[in-house]
Amino acid sequence: MTLKFTIFNESIEIDEKKDRYNSLRKDFDEFSYMQSEKFTDIFRESYYNIDVLSKNGLNDGFKLIIEGIDKALSILVDNNILDIDRKRFFSNYYGKYYSYDEDFHKINNRYLSIIIPEKNLLDYNERCKNVRLQWKEKGFPIDGSVIDVTKENNMTMASSLTHISYKFKGKTFSGIGNFIEKSKLLNDNETLEVLKTSVYNNCYNIHKALIDCFEDNGLNIYDKYIGEDIINSVEALFNNLTIGVIPQEKVQENIIKIIKGNPYELRYYKFIIYNLGDEYNELDKLADYYGVFGLGDFKLSLLKDKFNKLDLSTEESTIQGKELLTTYMQKLGIGTQNPYYFKIEERLKELDLIKRTVEDIEFPTREMASLAREDKSKIEEVLKNINSDSEEEILQALDNIKRLDLKTILKIKYIDLLNQKLKTIIEKADFLYLNTKFDCKSLYSEEEVVKALEELRNTDLRTKEALALKERDLITRLTQIIEGNDILKMENIINSYLFFNMSDIQNAVDELSAMNIRSYHLKREKIEYLLDNARFIINNHLNLLDKAKKYDIKLKEKKNGKSLPKDNGFMGSIRKVFGDTINKVNEILSEEDKRAWEFITNNGEKTIEEVYARILER
């Protein structure tokens, strides 16, 4: 069955042999990519230093290539060619394409140049070259021999590396210097890229050897792969096309020659699409058939460049931009399901919304939005000279707007805005009035607050919320005054007691319990405090009593001191000094003891003896 593609009205036919070859090529292309990715994984997971790569890299890469050879042998067997094994396939067909060991030695030589002198490196390279010549002259030593041979060469040289790097002075920097250079080589992106690319190429070229083998065995079921002479000829034709030396009337004719000659080169498709487009996606389909991928992304990149150059600042320019973009999409064969068409559609919707929006109101049509703008102009004319803080002027503006012949809901919006403004003005005035007339900070007695509450409740204002808030403030103030008075009463009772035992505590509790006060919760808290802290309070008062007794003794000693007779002589001076010292006794006495004495005696209203007498009575 023959496949047909139409490129610029020119038919490209693909017969069964070409189709069969293309399937084989695509199969090996995909296989080669997978093998190169496997090598990448091995490189990143196993080659923790360049020494490991030097030791195992050739072996690991060759194993992956051998899998490709086995794949080719399976295809031969499927076609009843049974007398080709690994060795014969390599020697007779694949050897001329194989290059992995040479690519590997390019990297390995960079490694060896770090650690061994130049003469030794030259000897090593000569030995490797001789091994490769032996392969070509005597046949490929498959069955693992190649791996053993190359490994032996590497290891023979590597076995002496440790002492060589130190033995030959002037070659190495130092052990540390070598380490740094080797690390750079391992981490150099080119190291991995060279080897994985070589694995890909050597696996991919197996399909060429396979075609050669089929031809050699008289089985011409596949078309021939493209030879170097054709590749070079097509490339030259393409180069002439790109620099413009081919006449315009012959451009399409030569484009067909390029595609027919080498349909596997992505650059050719990109050039054609960039210059001539792909309106019916025939180039895209042809490239997909040949396994040349990436045209979809390339087309989108061209569309992105086109989009980025469009002027989307105004609706008019955006409409023009959409026309340009749509035309370019048609040229490239791209449908409307792409991000750049979506973006320009969204921009048009955005601009349309702007046109239909007035005062943050979205109108269903532009005609309605136009009427709204007319209404807005009329309203602004009414509002332009009013005092926005004047209740009277706001009321007048409201009346004027209501009288206007307006067509849209903008009228309702501005009436609502003015009503809200009017409400704010009234609230502000009412709050100011209440805060001035009923200033809680100036009310000190219960009677004053009660009177203010009564007056407030008889006050009529438009802002009911302001009245409610002020009533709450006055009630809070009344509660503060009542609680303050109740606390004072309870403190007076508690301060009348000296607590020297639990009986004193209980007496105070009983007296507090009998009190008739409105702040019951405060009374409960005081009683609970006395009972919960009784032991602490008693100990504290006993300590204060002890300090007060000390102070009282010192005070009595001061009072009982004898007055010395007046003497103006030497002894009189002595006595004067002594008297001044006595006068300062109170300053020397402990302030803490003094405060304790004042507390226990209630500032001298009762004596220490009376306090002790009361203790004994209890």
360 or 563: whose pLDDT is higher? 360
Cβ atoms of 554 and 594 within 8 Å: the answer is no
Residues 6+ apart with CB under 8 A from 189: none
> What pLDDT does residue 163 have?
33
Cβ atoms of 502 and 533 within 8 Å: the answer is no
**pLDDT bracket for residue 141 (50, 70, 90):** low
Mean of pLDDT values over 286-290: 96
Mutual orientation of helices 266-276 and 228-243 as an angle, nearest 10°? 30
52 or 133: whose pLDDT is higher? 52
Determine what percent of the chain is predicted with pLDDT higher than 70: 84
Residue whose structure tokens are 């992956």: 64
> What pLDDT does residue 166 have?
32
Looking at 121-130, 477-486, 539-548, which range is the least confident one? Answer: 121-130
> What pLDDT does residue 560 have?
81
Q: Is the pLDDT of residue 128 over 50?
A: yes
- How far CA 415 is from CA of 110, 121, 374, 379, 381, in Å, comes to 86, 96, 16, 10, 15
Looking at 64-73, 310-319, 349-358, 595-604, which range is the least confident one? Answer: 595-604
Mean of pLDDT values over 406-419: 95
> What pLDDT does residue 135 have?
53
> What pLDDT does residue 165 have?
34
Residues 6+ apart with CB under 8 A from 284: 278, 295, 296, 299, 333
> What pLDDT does residue 589 have?
52
Long-range contacts of 353-358 (CB under 8 A, 24+ apart): 355/315, 358/408, 358/410
Q: Is 308 helix (H, G, I), strand (E, B) or coil?
A: helix
DSSP letters for 132-176: HHHHHHH---TTTHHHHHHHHHHHHHHTTHHHHHHHSTTT---HH
Long-range contacts of 378-383 (CB under 8 A, 24+ apart): 378/404, 378/406, 379/404, 379/406, 379/410, 379/411, 379/414, 383/414
Mean of pLDDT values over 438-464: 94
Q: Is the pLDDT of residue 447 over 60?
A: yes
Per-residue pLDDT reduced to its tens digit, 574-591: 445 445 554 554 555 578
Backbone angles phi, psi at 361, to 5 degrees: -105, 125
Backbone angles phi, psi at 10, to 5 degrees: -105, 130
Total length of the chain: 618
Q: Is the pLDDT of residue 347 over 50?
A: yes
Please return the burial class of 136, using the count of CB atoms within 10 Å of its CB with bins 0-12, 13-18 and 19+.
exposed
Average pLDDT over all residues of the chain: 87
Dist CA 388 CA 565 (whole Å): 91
Dist CA 28 CA 38 (whole Å): 15
CA angle (209, 211, 213) in 5-degree steps: 70
> What pLDDT does residue 290 have?
96
Backbone angles phi, psi at 200, to 5 degrees: -60, -50
Dist CA 136 CA 130 (whole Å): 10
Dist CA 386 CA 379 (whole Å): 12
Q: Is the pLDDT of residue 48 over 90?
A: no
Looking at 173-177, 221-225, 552-556, which range is the least confident one? Answer: 173-177
Per-residue pLDDT reduced to its tens digit, 264-287: 999 999 999 999 999 999 999 999
Q: Which residues pair with 361 in a beta bridge?
A: 358
- List helix spans (H) across 205-289: 206-216, 228-243, 251-261, 266-276, 282-289
Q: Is the pLDDT of residue 169 over 50?
A: no
Determine what percent of the chain is predicted with pLDDT higher than 90: 74
Enter the pTM of the model: 0.64
> What pLDDT does residue 94 have?
97
Backbone angles phi, psi at 3, to 5 degrees: -90, 145
